[in-house]
Structure 1
Amino acid sequence: MKTIFVSGTAGSGKSLLSSKLYDYYTKNGAFTAVLNLDPGVENLPYSCDVDVRDFVDIVSIMQQYDLGPNGALVMAADLIASKIDDIQNEVNRVNPDYLIVDTPGQIELFAYRSSGRFLIDNISSEEKTSVFLFDGALITTPVNFVSIALLATSIRLRLNLPTINVLTKTDLIGANLKNILQWSSSLSTLESAIANDADGDTYTLTTNILRGLNLSGFAQGLIPISNVTGDGFVNLEGALSRILNLGEEVED
């Protein structure tokens, strides 16, 4: 079994991408399953093969512990880790070739609490990788781009997985797409854009962060995709194949 963790900021398109990846691998003859790790989600664009909502109920947690929605989500994130044996048993029962893991909408609940890393480490799999989604609607300015790049690097550090960075919503951002792709592949271009967009402490802080990210190997470009049109999925699937299958494509 090969496992793909889909992560990113709230609203970046994680669930929809999980659905599209499921469709791709299934269409190409691979037995694929989706694990939903968001205990608070109400509607999903796919049918869950394994669902944490079967093991952890947000409403019950709120009532039992007199918590609001946010507090219940925090408690649920830790309770999910205690259900790892049940989750693994369900995954084993399904026994897919590819397991796509749709992580919670609130990325901090998964990435920064010890329970998230525990789940990653304890889901049995031959190979694991992470896809981090850069929400195209959030990074149309160079300062915002660097901010999300810092978050992506932090998430990669926390998850300790080979990571593919993906730019979503390319069908919605119009002319900004060209700028974003240039920022992601050229340090000098991004520094010039920051100089035109920010001044004072913001400029100093942003450029210092940027140079640190560049030294850590971030400046490698993004894979632009659209969940709506399907543009860019060939490149994403090729990147996944290089990590999960040593470059061998899934056959039709």
Structure 2
Amino acid sequence: MKSIFVTGTAGAGKSLLTSKLYEYYTKNSAFAAVLNLDPGVQNLPYTCDIDVRDYVNVIDIMQQYDLGPNGAVVMANDLIASKIDEIQEQINKVNPDYLIVDTPGQIELFAYRSSGRFVVENISSEEKTSIFLFDGALVTTPVNFVSIALLATSIKLRLGLPTINVITKTDLIGTKLRNIIDWSSNIKLLENAIAAETDGETYSLTTNILRGLNLGGFAQGLIPVSNVTGNGLVNLEGALSRILNLGEEVED
């Protein structure tokens, strides 16, 4: 079994991309399954094969511990770690070729609390990788792009997984997509764009962050994907296969 963790900021399209990946693998005769790790989500665009809401109920936690919604979601995410053996047993029963893991909407709850890293480490799998979603609607300015790139790098460090960077909502941002793709592969172009839109202090801070990210190996480009049309899924699957299957791609 190969595991794919779908991460990114709230609203970036994690659940939609999870559903599209599931459909892509299934259409191409690969056995895929979906694990939902968000205990607070109400509606999902796919049918869960394994669902943490079967083990952890946010409403019950609110009532039992007299917590508000945010406190209950924090506790629920931590309680998931205590259910990892039961979750793994259910994964084993399904036994897919590809397990697509839809992570919680609030990325900080998953990536920055010890329970998230624990779950990643304790899901038994031959190979694991992470997809980080750059929300296309958020990264249309160079400073926002660097900010999200910093977050992506931080998440990669926290989870300790090889990571593929994807930009979503490509059908909504029009000609700005070309700029974003260029920024992801040409640091000089990005620095020039920052200089054109910021003052001295912001320029200095942003470019210093950017150079650190570049030294850390961030500048590897983005894969554009539309969750609406499915454009880019072939390229994403190819990148996943290079990590998970030593380059052997699922036939399209």
TM norm structure 2: 0.99
Q: Give matches, 1:137-176, under 5 Å.
A: 137-176=137-176
Q: Does the residue aligned with 1:167 lie in a helix, a strand or coil?
A: strand
Q: Deviations over 1:150-206 (max 9, x none)?
A: 000000000000000000000000111011011101010000000011113211110
Moved more, 195-204 or 93-102: 195-204
Paired letter, 1:17:
L
Question: Where do 1:14-33 residues align within 5 Å?
Answer: 14-33=14-33
Residue 221 of structure 2: aligned partner: 221
Q: Secondary structure at the match of 1:61?
A: helix
Report the alpha carbon displacement of residue 123 of structure 1 after superposing the two structures with TM: 0.3
Supply the AA of the counterpart residue of 2:191: E
Q: In structure 2, give the amino acid aligned to 1:49.
A: D
CA distance in 1 between partners of 2:234 and 2:73 (Å): 35
Which residue type is aligned with residue 47 of structure 2? S
- How far has the Cα of 1:209 moved from its partner? 0.2
- For 2:46 and 2:154, the matched residues in 1 are separated by 29
Distance 1:234 1:26 in 2: 13
Distance 1:201 1:103 in 2: 35
Aligned counterparts, 1:1-252, within 5 A:
1-251=1-251
CA shift digits 1:62-119 (9 cap, x unpaired): 0111111110011011100000001001101111111000000000000000000000
Post-superposition Cα deviations, 1:114-142, rounded to whole Å, max 9, x if no partner, equal 00000010000000000000000000100
Superposition CA RMSD, Å: 0.7
CA distance in 2, matches of 1:162, 1:98: 16
Matched residues in 2 for 1:83 and 1:39: separation? 12
Report SS of the residue matched to 1:23. Answer: helix
Deviation at residue 233 of structure 1 after TM alignment: 1.0
d(CA) in 2 for partners of 1:121 and 1:206?
Answer: 33
Runs of 4+ in 1 over 6 A off after TM superposition: none
Q: Partners of 1:179 and 1:250 in 2: how far apart?
A: 30
SS of match in other structure, 1:39: coil
Gapped regions of structure 2 (runs ≥ 5) = none
Mind listing any 5+ residue stretches in structure 1 that lack a counterpart? Answer: none
Say which SS state the counterpart of residue 6 (structure 1) adopts.
Answer: strand
Aligned-partner Cα distance in 2 for 1:181–1:114: 33
In the alignment, residue 181 of structure 2 is paired with which amino acid?
Answer: L
**In 2: Cα distance, 1:3 partner to 1:92 partner:** 13
CA distance in 2, matches of 1:84, 1:230: 32
